[in-house]
């Protein structure tokens, strides 16, 4: 009887090792056949041209979007919010900057300080800048900074975690 138990113990260990080899083989095949990202870049770039054309037709103010930025500026989000009950609409275009920071264009016909409050929390005045012949006001917030200019009924806010230098560059590229 003792000899039978000894043989049974060896079979159990042998079976366990064979099972582990089989599982590792399946895992290796799965690893080799499942596609992997080769560039390691998690940024999902969006084409905003159709949304821009649609927003330009719908908005009650001239929509601004950048022209001439290098391909290192990667658009990652775009939305147009049609007029709400108060008649306020909003345009948003977000980017990853060449330095890997976030920058966005926000435009709305809601009051300037309401727009600032909703995007640049804790904002405080931080000087001004002359960009493309316009005087922009700078604001520093808890998380983001921003530049604003008001034309007619619309406020344009260039904002994000990017440096003022990159935000200035984005503001410089804006065309209506």
Residue 173 reports pLDDT greater than 80: yes
Judge if 81 and 28 occupy the same domain.
no
111-129 residue pLDDT tens: 899 988 989 989 999 999 9
Q: Are residues 11 and 70 in the same domain?
A: no
Structure tokens that stand for 146 in this block: 């921003």
Residue 136 and residue 130 in contact, taking contact as beta carbons nearer than 8 Å: yes
Residue range of the domain that includes 141: 49-175
Are the beta carbons of 164 and 120 closer than 8 angstroms?
A: no
CA separation for the pair 86, 9 (Å, rounded): 79
Verify that 57 and 143 share a domain, yes or no.
yes
Distance between CA atoms of 94 and 75, rounded to whole angstroms? 6
Residue 65 and residue 47: Cα distance in Å, rounded?
Answer: 12
- Contacts of 4-8 with CB under 8 Å at 24 or more apart are none
Return the number of other C-beta atoms located less than 10 Å from residue 114's C-beta: 13
**Residue 75 and residue 23 in one domain:** no
* Residue 42 within any structural domain of the chain: no
Evaluate whether 124 touches 117 at the Cβ level (below 8 Å): no
Do 128 and 87 have their domain in common?
yes
Number of structural domains in the chain: 2
Is position 44 within any domain? no
Question: Are the C-beta atoms of residues 157 and 116 closer than 8 Å to each other?
Answer: yes
Pair 70, 19 in one domain: no
Percent of the chain with pLDDT over 70: 88
What pLDDT is stored for residue 89 in this prediction? 86
CB 107, CB 91: distance < 8 Å = yes
59 and 27 assigned to the same domain: no
Instruction: Using only the alpha carbons of the chain, give its radius of gyration.
Output: 28
Which contiguous run of DSSP H or E holds residue 42? Answer: none
When mean pLDDT is compared across 5-9, 55-59, 97-101, 169-173, the lowest value belongs to 5-9
pLDDT confidence band for 8 (50 / 70 / 90): low
For residue 53, give the CATH number of its domain. Answer: 3.30.200.100
Q: What's the mean pLDDT when you consider all of the chain?
A: 84
What is the residue whose two structure tokens read 């601004």?
Answer: 64
Kindly report the pTM of this predicted structure.
Answer: 0.73
140: alpha, beta or left? (left if phi > 0; alpha if psi -120 to 50):
beta
My answer on whether 18 and 65 are in the same domain is no
Model pLDDT for residues 19-64, shown as the tens digit of each residue? 888 888 777 777 777 765 555 556 677 788 888 888 888 888 899 9
């Amino acid at each position: 009887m003792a000899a039978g138990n000894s043989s049974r113990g060896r079979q159990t260990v042998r079976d366990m090792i064979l099972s582990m080899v089989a599982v590792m083989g399946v895992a290796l095949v799965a690893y080799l056949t499942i596609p992997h990202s080769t560039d390691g870049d998690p940024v999902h770039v969006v084409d905003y041209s159709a949304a821009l054309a649609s927003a330009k037709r719908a908005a009650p103010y001239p929509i601004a979007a950048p022209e001439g930025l290098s391909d290192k500026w990667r658009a990652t989000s775009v939305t147009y919010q049609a007029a709400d009950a108060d008649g306020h609409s909003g345009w948003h275009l977000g980017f990853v900057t060449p330095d890997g920071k976030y920058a966005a264009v926000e435009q709305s016909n809601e009051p300037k300080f309401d727009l600032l409050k909703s995007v640049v929390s804790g904002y405080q005045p931080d000087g001004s800048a002359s960009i493309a012949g316009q005087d922009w006001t700078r604001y520093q917030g808890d998380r983001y900074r921003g530049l604003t200019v008001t034309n007619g009924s619309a406020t344009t806010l260039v904002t994000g975690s990017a440096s003022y230098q990159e935000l200035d560059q984005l503001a410089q590229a804006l065309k209506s």
